[in-house]
Structure 1
Amino acid sequence: MRKIFLYAYDRINLGDDLFIRTICNRYPNVKFYLWSKKYNEKVFDDVKNLKVLDKNSKYLTFLYKIHLSFYLGYKSRMEKRCDAIVYIGGSIFIEYDNWKQILTWWDYEALNRKFYILGANFGPYKTEEYRNKLASIFNNVQDICFRDKYSYNLFSDVKKVRYAPDILFNYQCKTTETKKQIFISVIDCLSRESGLDKLCDKEENYINLLLKYIGIYVNKGYTVVLSSFCKIENDEKTINKILDRIDSNLKRSVKIVNYNGENTDDVVSAMAESEFVIASRFHGTVLGFALDKPVLPIVYSDKTINILKDLSFKGRYIDIRKINSELYVELDNNYDFQRIADIQQIRKDSEKHFEKLDKLLLE
């Protein structure tokens, strides 16, 4: 049996957890080893070909206390037992102040392992030195497939670099009957106070905007679903702030469906049942389109804008970074333009992320 050592964002985030499920489901006869924490054993208990390696286990904590090299040696031995290393993730190439230290790991893996990078985007970044260093690293990997053309074009001269639409455009959901319901994915602006996209001073306008949509559509007879995709990133705190400010008459028509790591179907089904998706989360936008729903993206980063450009999206979007108390998009008047015209082709193209890995694991 083939074995893959898997890296991913592992903090019970709906989008990234679906990445993990997607790759494991694609290769049912491959054993995956996810370098993570114990709580993910419960999250992925139903994924029979995935084993969570608890990096904070008593044994590994003991090795770490003796010497860091013992701890790293254990991980290195596990990697060597696998046929390849896969990092499946989205915003994994942000330029932080300590980027030189971070890139030593990427450099080592690219030089010493069969290393595949799937589903990523590049940036935000500030310096050409950072981009150039990663270009040299990408030259040494087996494959890297970006999910947006902006990232691809920054490294188009690197032969190992490819492009395909986001992996979750091909996510399969059970068919369900549509209700008179709107689905809203939220984020916490206060948690995004570092980096290039600072949102902490936009929280009040953002919450007021969502309250406006809730009021309008509840009064039109809709149920409104508020959803957190990641508790650790404080999505639920924003929902609680919204609930505290909703009139009691409106609150009866508001449902909460928060992702907790074990209720993927509940969240995706709530989206599939809705007539319209208002998506603050990046993968709220992607999944909304994948379900062929009209979507109003409320973006917090250029990564979403870049994808909308790739899709030739003809609808409008709201940029939280530029939001003000007057900004509002009338959903009803722009309904048809909030869809993606050729979603079937995009679904098909998104599978190209696995094109190179298929040759290793399926042939």
Structure 2
Amino acid sequence: MQSRVLVCAYFAVNTGDDLFLKVLFDRYPNVKWDLLTANRNYIKIFKEYKNVQILYTYREVKIGAKYYNIFFKLNDLILNFKKYDALINIGGSIFMQGSSWKKKLKERNYLVTKFKEMNKKIFIIGANFGPFNDEEFIQSYRELFKKCDDICFRDSESFNLFKELENVRLAPDIVFGLKSNERSEGKEKIAGFSIINLKNRKGLKDYYHLYNNKIIELAKNYLSKGYRVKLFSFCENEGDLNIIQDIESEINNQNIEIVNYKGDIDSFLEKFKSCEVILGTRFHSIILALKNRQKVVPIIYSEKTYNVLKDLNMQNDCHYIKDISTLNFDEVNLKSDFQNSILHQNIERESEIHFKEIDNFFGDSIGGGNFEEKFTICN
């Protein structure tokens, strides 16, 4: 009988999170996946996968003075999650202490408790933990994690917070294991910029103009050196495209191309891979550049990026947004020219450690086989 799994993720047409899903679906082609979202974009994004469907019932409706989640109510009253063999929560920054974190925790705890009561498997993979403000947040999730069968973090900072739990493990970011077609030709004379919108980001909006102006300055420098420039929007829903359009209009050069991710994963990856150098702000722009052996300058907007680069011994090759005004073109060329020699040759294999327990659950005929426990990049 075909296994059926309920999938929780960040369904916002965000490049990094959609790559997580692609890796998951490609690894287990014989599993039926139900995506816990009502976002209709995901019908188009994964239309080639006949074993993937979204749940139209996953939405809130108001009855009287209260709001109810239809999907949860149907399962409480009728389905009781009986059709599922497992619950997988896959994502990167999915454990952040925002203003509504208790509501999100309550929803997660509901699902985990239901699956636990029915003796069904619960997996969390690919994540980092934080940022957080207090011990209550950590302790609340520690209690949740105790109910899960397996949790695999992508950085040692997150792992160390919960390493006393026997079900917690560590592996490099899942996207390092992305299977993609290799280009036979070399990189073109293109500088790629992954850009985020700082306008409404807490703690970063004060750097909005400094960041934008520095991107404009660096792009103009590359254009003056005979490069073409590609501006990559990794998540339109989070404002990437809006700020990119503003920046492009300021530069006003015919050798600039805007590449906006709208769910066309393969096309986006090919355009990204064509660049000789990447100035990456988005987390997964850096991961992809490392994977592609592209020259890369990481521009850090979140500690999650620094923590992963620290695990790779690359913490000295990055630049924080708060110090963006000091970044100059000569420094960019110097920092980008190490050609990723720091990368461990087995990092792609090590990233598959995220799936170790899922492979064991589905069986070797579906998964990727046996793994060693050790995450050697951190040593």
TM-score (normalizing by structure 1): 0.91
Structure 1 gap segments, 5+ residues each = none
| Letter paired with 2:84 | C
Shift of residue 14 of structure 1? 0.7
- The answer to whether the Cα contact below 8 Å between 1:315 and 1:338 also exists between their aligned partners in 2 is no
- The answer to whether the Cα contact below 8 Å between 1:311 and 1:340 also exists between their aligned partners in 2 is no
| Letter paired with 2:215 | L
Shift of residue 285 of structure 1? 0.6
Distance 1:149 1:296 in 2: 22
- The answer to whether the Cα contact below 8 Å between 1:143 and 1:356 also exists between their aligned partners in 2 is yes
Distance 1:28 1:56 in 2: 24
Which residue of structure 2 lines up, in the alignment, with residue 73 of structure 1?
73
Matching residue within 244, 251, 254 for 1:252: 254
Distance 2:53 2:108 in 1: 23
Shift of residue 20 of structure 1? 1.0
Shift of residue 300 of structure 1? 0.5
- The answer to whether the Cα contact below 8 Å between 1:111 and 1:141 also exists between their aligned partners in 2 is no
| Letter paired with 1:162 | R
Shift of residue 271 of structure 1? 1.9
Distance 2:262 2:80 in 1: 29
Instruction: Show CA shifts across 1:118-149 (max 9, x none).
Output: 10000000111211121121111011100100
Which residue of structure 2 lines up, in the alignment, with residue 206 of structure 1?
211
Matches within 5 A, 1:47-196: 47-55=49-57, 68=68, 71-75=71-75, 77=79, 79-113=81-115, 114-176=121-183, 177=185, 178-193=187-202
Which residue of structure 1 lines up, in the alignment, with residue 296 of structure 2?
295
Distance 1:44 1:285 in 2: 24
- The answer to whether the Cα contact below 8 Å between 1:64 and 1:70 also exists between their aligned partners in 2 is no
- The answer to whether the Cα contact below 8 Å between 1:79 and 1:85 also exists between their aligned partners in 2 is no
When residues 64 and 149 of structure 1 are mapped into structure 2, their CA distance, relative to the original with a 3 A threshold, is farther
Backbone CA RMSD of aligned residues: 2.2
When residues 106 and 62 of structure 1 are mapped into structure 2, their CA distance, relative to the original with a 3 A threshold, is closer
Indicate the SS of the match to 2:81: helix
Structure 2 gap segments, 5+ residues each = 116-120, 365-379
- The answer to whether the Cα contact below 8 Å between 2:61 and 2:68 also exists between their aligned partners in 1 is no
Indicate the SS of the match to 1:232: helix
Distance 1:327 1:333 in 2: 11
Which residue of structure 2 lines up, in the alignment, with residue 333 of structure 1?
334
Indicate the SS of the match to 1:96: coil
- The answer to whether the Cα contact below 8 Å between 2:233 and 2:240 also exists between their aligned partners in 1 is yes
Which residue of structure 2 lines up, in the alignment, with residue 323 of structure 1?
323
* Aligned residue-pair number: 352
Which residue of structure 2 lines up, in the alignment, with residue 2 of structure 1?
3
| Letter paired with 2:83 | R
| Letter paired with 1:260 | K
Shift of residue 255 of structure 1? 1.2
Identical residues among aligned pairs (%)? 35
Matching residue within 212, 215, 228 for 1:223: 228
- The answer to whether the Cα contact below 8 Å between 1:173 and 1:291 also exists between their aligned partners in 2 is no
Segments ≥4 residues shifted beyond 4 Å: 60-67
Instruction: Show CA shifts across 1:234-280 (max 9, x none).
Output: 1001111101211x4xx11111111111x212221122111111111
Indicate the SS of the match to 1:191: coil
Distance 2:62 2:103 in 1: 25
